[in-house]
Every structure is written in C-alpha cells, then in structure tokens.
Amino acid sequence: MIFFVIEMKQAIDKACNLIIKLQQLKKIRGYVLTGAGVSKASDIPTFRGEDGLWERYDFEEVATYDAWIRNPEKIWKLYQEGIDLILNAQPNAAHKAIFQLENLNLSQFVITQNVDSLHQKAGSKNVIEVHGNFTRIKCTACGRKQILSKSPEKIPPFCDCGSLFRPDVVLFNESLPEKEISKAFDIAAKSDLVFVIGTSAEVIPAATLPLISKRNGAVVIVFNPEKTTHVQIADVFIQGKCEETLPIFLQELTKE
C-alpha cells in the first residue's frame, strides 16, 4: 500500500513538472478524453470489467439498432431505468476536477464517450459528446430531437409525426455523429496536452485520439486504476480511481 502511494506521488510530481515546463514554453492547448470510469463514483456503471454493463447484458440484445427495432418496448423499459439513473446522478470529484483543468487553462475541451451530461452539470463548457446523450431522444423517421427532464411515461414513446423515438446515443455498428467526431480529431491533432481519464481504450475511433495527439508531440497523462493500452504511449500514468487521484494532482499543481 505504501509503495503504491509513493508511486502515485512520484507520477503526480512528474506530471506537474511536465506541465510547468510546457507552460513556460507556450500557452497550452489541451483536452480531456473521458470514459465511463469518470462517472463510476456517481453510481453510473461502467461497460467493461467487474460489475460492468456488458457482464449483465448481452450488448447484441440491448445496444444494437436491430435488437432495438425488433422489440422497442422491452428495450425502452430497460432504457427508462437508465434515463432515470442518469437524470438523478450528480457530478463527483473527478468531474469537478476536470472543470478546474479548464479554469487553469490546461484544457479547453472535454471529449467524452459518456452519455450522462455530468461534465456539463459540473460546469465544463466545451463538451464534445462523441457517443451521443442518453437523456436526449431522436425520432427514427423525421430525426426530431427532444431533451428529457424525466424518463418517458408511455413506452415506447412516439414522435408527433407518428414514428418511434429512440435514445440519441450511438448503438453498436452505428457511425459516430459526424460533426462531433471530426471536431474531436481536429482538437486531438492540434493539442499539446491530453488527459485520458477513465476509459478502457477498447472502443475506436475515440481510443485513437490520444495516439494522434502523441504522434503530433503532445504530452499524454493517463488516469486509470488499470493499465490500459493507452499507458503504452503515456508520458505519465497516474494509477488509481480518478475521483481520488485528480484532486490530489490538482492540489499539487496549484500549490505555491
């Protein structure tokens, strides 16, 4: 345990030194890439790993368009619970620390694979949602979108045009929203610093963003309890739960 704490402290010191050096050279252009691990402390489950959603559900049965259109009522019932969970969730210390990175001018964008709006609730301004948003629904015919303040009471919900509404999230085998992903690639290519937080690096294209940044000379800092493949390209790996490590990192970075 003590060894683990020392290792974390050394990694945090290294990250702070790299950032201070970078700040002396230029005005930093940075971004944060986040995944489900950031929202775990807000009681929103991750997808992979112990207690992950894909341990409990077969994604082919719940997260593909085919499955969805085959039995919208069944899947909407399940999604109804998810929408309520997300609408009631509150940002945790990690979301708040990520907002602080923006205030410190170390990051100008949050590129997130999360669909829970918790970065926005924590105050982050430029949030790019590459996998959509679970609290928004979209008509399967006319494309009309609606933001929910509570889960739909009548299942499945229908649009005024008479067609089914679906959640406005990216399902398996679907393409990512074009505007968001092209903006994300552009940011990744132009950044000097990237914080990769709470993502397994299993899903492309989002997982390739830090690789692009690294190839263009950016400093890459990874926060995760597990050694993901992003650790291979990281300048610093800060191992641990991000709701614990990020506040310590910020405290170290901002101390006189």
Closest CA to 112 of 22, 203, 50, 192: 203
Q: Smaller CB distance to ligand OAD: residue 97 or 212?
A: 97
Q: How far is the CB of 225 from ligand OAD (least distance, A)?
A: 5
Taking the complex as a whole, the smallest distance from the CB of residue 198 to ligand OAD amounts, in Å, to: 3
Give the H/E segment covering residue 2: helix 2-25
Give 151 or 224: the residue with its C-beta nearer to ligand OAD.
Answer: 224
Residue in the shown chain whose Cβ atom is closest to ligand OAD: 37
The nearest distance, CB 162 to ligand OAD, in angstroms, is 28
Residue 131 annotated to the active site: yes
User: Which pair of tokens denotes residue 106?
Assistant: 């170390």
Residue 201: count of CB within 10 angstroms of its CB: 22
From the CB of 29, what's the least distance to ligand OAD, in Å? 24
**CB count in 10 Å sphere of residue 227:** 12
CA distances from 216 to 33, 37, 186, 256 (A): 16, 26, 12, 31
How many residues are there in the chain? 256
Q: Pick from 75, 83, 84, 62: which is nearest to 164 by CA?
A: 75
- Closest approach, Cβ 230 to ligand OAD, in A, equals 9
Per annotation, catalytic residue among 95, 119, 131, 230: 131
**Binding region for ligand OAD (CB under 6 A):** 35-37, 40-41, 46-49, 52, 113, 131, 170, 198-200, 202-203, 224-226, 228, 241-243
DSSP letters for 23-39: HHHS---EEEEE-GGGG
For residue 181 the two structure tokens come to 């992903």
Contact criterion met (CB below 8 Å) for 230 and 239: no
- Which residue, 60 or 202, is less far from ligand OAD as judged by CB? 202
- What residue spans of 123-231 are helical by DSSP H? 178-190, 209-215
Task: Name the residue nearer to ligand OAD (CB basis): 82 or 198.
Answer: 198
Shorter beta-carbon distance to ligand OAD: residue 151 or 199: 199
**What are the residue numbers of the active site?**
131
